[in-house]
Amino acid sequence: MVSITHVGQPYLFTVPPPRDARPDAAADQAAPDVLTSLYPAAKSSLDQLLATELSAIPNSQRERDGIRVGATVAQLLTGLRAADGSAATPPPLYRRHPAR
């Protein structure tokens, strides 16, 4: 969203957006793209959530431009983070203690 609104500090970079790109569409697209790269098994659920979120935004060139910005940001971010350990398999959320 920072790439479009210019409000706040960008995390690592900005993407030059089309003039009227919708920031909500960009955020809606970027989030599941990044999450799918980390959790591929959740792709179907994330795609459904994305469709629900995008259905609330009027279908327009502004929406499509925002989607394109969000997808670009997600692709660049996951590419930059590919070798920093962020893609490592996390440990289980909890461990069962063996019976005593």
Does the pLDDT at position 53 exceed 90?
yes
Q: Which token pair is 82?
A: 């590919």
Q: Which token pair is 44?
A: 């179907």
Report the pLDDT value the prediction gives residue 97, as an integer from 0 to 100: 66
Report the pLDDT value the prediction gives residue 61, as an integer from 0 to 100: 97
Query: Cα(25)–Cα(18) distance, rounded to whole angstroms?
Result: 13
Report the pLDDT value the prediction gives residue 94, as an integer from 0 to 100: 64
**Spans of all domains in the chain:** 39-84
Query: Which distant-in-sequence residues (6+ apart) come within 8 Å of 5 by Cβ?
Result: 23
Q: How confident is the model at residue 48 (pLDDT cuts 50, 70, 90)?
A: very high
Q: pLDDT of 33-43, one tens digit each? A: 998 988 888 89
